[in-house]
Amino acid sequence: MCSCCASSFSRLRSRCPRPRGIINLIVTKACMLALLFGAVWSVTGTECLPGGRVFGVVIIFISAVLGGRLVGMVQFPGLPPIPPLLGMLLAGLILRNVPYVTDAVYVDAAWSAALRSMALSIILARAGLGLDPSALRRLKAVCLRVAVGPCVMEACVVAVVSHFLLALPWGWGFLLGFVLAAVSPAVVVPSMLLLQKEGYGREKGIPTLLMAAGSFDDILAITGFSTCLGVAFSTGSTWMSILKGLLEVIGGVVGGILVGIFLCFFPSVDQEDVVATRSFLLLAFSIFAVFFTQVVGASGAGGLCTLVLAFLAALGWRADKAGVAAILGRCWDVFQPLLFGLIGAEIVITTLSLSTVGLGVAVIAIGLVVRLVTTFALVHGAGFVLKEKLFIAIAWMPKATVQAAIGSTALDTARDKNDETLVKFGLDVLTLAVLAILITAPIGALSIGLTGPRLLSRQVKVPEAVGGAPSQAGQGEDPVILESRL
């Protein structure tokens, strides 16, 4: 370009108004979406048009993200926000059950199962990375009781009740019990952090207690689910089914140990982009473990293998695991809307019977009552007053993430078996998992926010007197709020 033309173009650009702010953002995003759609359409053809598989997945993802944002915007003064995952679940449920829309938003069953299995792999890998070995060593008995007792009791009670009310076989009853028994960190942790920030229950470490126990509660539920999954799909005698389930657990643990030790040494710290390489290998091994065990008919081993290998890898990486955890967190940001949206899209309201829904709600309610009573009883003698014990029981109620992650696994496995009876059982498990999320997630979050300030004592900063000496109200204690302890 000659200097004259360049000068003219420069004067024209300086005189023309340049769009900024929201207008510029909208045009930019629209252009990016249009180019992305054009590239995908040129490769997949009709698959990215209404009725195609790519179109259905994309629409569910976008709808789930928007649903999560809308629900997350609902904020009541002094209360924790309603979990966005509830909006994601409702978005998939609505898309699946609105006439005409459901015809355009088609999701292939195999694609849906694969995407949910990938989301499960990420959840389990993050759970393994998040385990703190030092916390495991210093956990007090009360934390172990809170993590183990309510989960096992609720699982057993749900198994018995569902066997008689829903006519589920014993193996499926215990499988359902461990699906419903897991508490949701996605609901409990943000609520506890908010209370801890305000100083409620901090003196006795109640928020820290519940956040630490929540991880072990989930791992116990996933372990029990993996064992029962192997039993539920085994053929032959009951003892052989139980033996097969135990062998799957042992195989998953051994496989996780071997892969975890490998990841401790490969890649070495002197390699370039070691964090990215570790993240890739961890995700690849986790996804492979889940899918490979499904192919060989040992679905119960995949989840445990992923948990163990992630935990051992984190031990080898030590402080460097933070970068890997951050990358897995970004992956979860993508797969969380897909998981909850696809779970919601599995439920067809017209095919549900009122008796199944009604009896399912009864099963969930009975399990919750037993869980509340058990939690209240197990924290007795731990130094908590009556109000604090009541709050701990209430805070141990919400369910969401684990139910979405493993609730559909049994249904997917049953579909692979092409057995209509097993498919019905799997659909019952998934239905109750969705009902548990819809009932307990919002009620649990609101209950924690409402009861926390009323049932917990508040620890506030002690005002300093002139000269920096503590006031009489502080009774000589450090004016800085002490760190929460178990």
Residue 164, burial from CB neighbour count under 10 angstroms (0-12, 13-18, 19+): exposed
pTM of the model: 0.74
Residue matched to tokens 């930019």: 28
- How many CB atoms are closer than 10 A to CB 179? 30
Which of 219-233, 250-264, 296-310, 457-471 has the weakest average pLDDT? 457-471
351 located within any domain: yes
Between these two residues, 238 and 199, which has the higher pLDDT value? Answer: 199
Residue 482, burial from CB neighbour count under 10 angstroms (0-12, 13-18, 19+): exposed
Residue 468 has pLDDT above 70, yes or no: no
Give the tens place of pLDDT for each residue, 19-44: 667 888 888 888 888 888 888 888 88
> According to the model, what pLDDT value does residue 34 have?
84
Using CA atoms, how far apart are residues 218 and 427, in angstroms rounded to an integer? Answer: 22
- How many CB atoms are closer than 10 A to CB 139? 17
H helices then E strands: how many in the chain?
20, 0
Q: Is the dihedral of CA 88, 178, 353, 113 positive or negative?
A: positive
Which of 79-83, 359-363, 434-438, 446-450 has the weakest average pLDDT? 79-83
Query: What per-residue string of b and e applies to 191-215 under the rule 16 or more CB within 10 Å gives b?
Result: bbebbbebbbbbebbbbbbbbbbbb
346 located within any domain: yes
Between these two residues, 144 and 262, which has the higher pLDDT value? Answer: 262
> According to the model, what pLDDT value does residue 154 have?
94
> According to the model, what pLDDT value does residue 19 have?
67
95 located within any domain: no
Tokens of residue 371, six digits: 């869980």
Residue 476 has pLDDT above 60, yes or no: no
- CATH number of the domain enclosing 188: 1.20.1530
Using CA atoms, how far apart are residues 422 and 414, in angstroms rounded to an integer? Answer: 5
438 located within any domain: yes
CA-nearest of 69, 184, 151 to 445 is: 184
Using CA atoms, how far apart are residues 122 and 118, in angstroms rounded to an integer? Answer: 6
Query: Average pLDDT, stretch 406-423?
Result: 84
Which of 37-46, 88-97, 321-330, 473-482 has the weakest average pLDDT? 473-482
Using CA atoms, how far apart are residues 382 and 151, in angstroms rounded to an integer? Answer: 19
Q: Collapsing DSSP states into helix, strand and coil, what is residue 357? A: helix
> Mean pLDDT highest for which of 92-106, 131-145, 168-182, 463-477?
168-182
Cβ proximity of 357 and 431 under 8 Å: yes
Using CA atoms, how far apart are residues 478 and 28, in angstroms rounded to an integer? Answer: 53
Residues forming a β-bridge with 200: 458
260 located within any domain: yes
Q: Report in angstroms the alpha-carbon separations of 179 from 85, 173, 175, 378.
A: 17, 10, 6, 22
> Number of folded domains in the chain?
1
- How many CB atoms are closer than 10 A to CB 181? 30
Using CA atoms, how far apart are residues 410 and 212, in angstroms rounded to an integer? Answer: 28
Give the tens place of pLDDT for each residue, 81-109: 777 888 888 898 888 888 877 778 888 88
> According to the model, what pLDDT value does residue 241 have?
65
Res. 80 pLDDT band, cuts 50 70 90: low
Residue 56 has pLDDT above 70, yes or no: yes
107 located within any domain: no
Which of 57-61, 202-206, 314-318, 408-412 has the weakest average pLDDT? 202-206
SS (H, E, C) 50-62: CCCHHHHHHHHHH
Residue 473 has pLDDT above 50, yes or no: no
> According to the model, what pLDDT value does residue 13 have?
57
CA-nearest of 295, 368, 293, 284 to 324 is: 284
175 located within any domain: yes
Query: Average pLDDT, stretch 199-203?
Result: 81
User: How remote is the C-alpha of 265 from its chain's centroid?
Assistant: 29
Give the tens place of pLDDT for each residue, 269-310: 888 888 899 999 999 999 999 888 888 877 768 878 888 898
Any idea what DSSP says for residue 483? P
What's the number of CA atoms in the CB half-sphere (13 Å) around residue 309? 33
User: SS3 helix, strand, coil % of the chain, rounded to 5?
Assistant: 80, 0, 20
> According to the model, what pLDDT value does residue 151 have?
92
Between these two residues, 128 and 360, which has the higher pLDDT value? Answer: 360
Which of 196-205, 265-274, 335-344 has the weakest average pLDDT? 196-205
CA-nearest of 91, 215, 214, 225 to 155 is: 225
Look up the domain containing 151 and give its range.
117-460
User: How remote is the C-alpha of 361 from its chain's centroid?
Assistant: 22
25 located within any domain: no
Sorted by sequence, the CB contacts under 8 Å of residue 295 that are 6+ apart come out as none
Using CA atoms, how far apart are residues 240 and 465, in angstroms rounded to an integer? Answer: 72
Using CA atoms, how far apart are residues 12 and 41, in angstroms rounded to an integer? Answer: 37
Using CA atoms, how far apart are residues 354 and 117, in angstroms rounded to an integer? Answer: 30
C-alpha dihedral over 21, 27, 30, 31, to 10 degrees? Answer: -130
Using CA atoms, how far apart are residues 379 and 388, in angstroms rounded to an integer? Answer: 9
> According to the model, what pLDDT value does residue 325 have?
86
The proportion of the chain whose per-residue pLDDT surpasses 70, expressed as a percent, equals: 85
Residue 339 has pLDDT above 70, yes or no: yes
Using CA atoms, how far apart are residues 367 and 155, in angstroms rounded to an integer? Answer: 8
Measure the CA angle with vertex 218, ends 212 and 223; round to 5°: 130
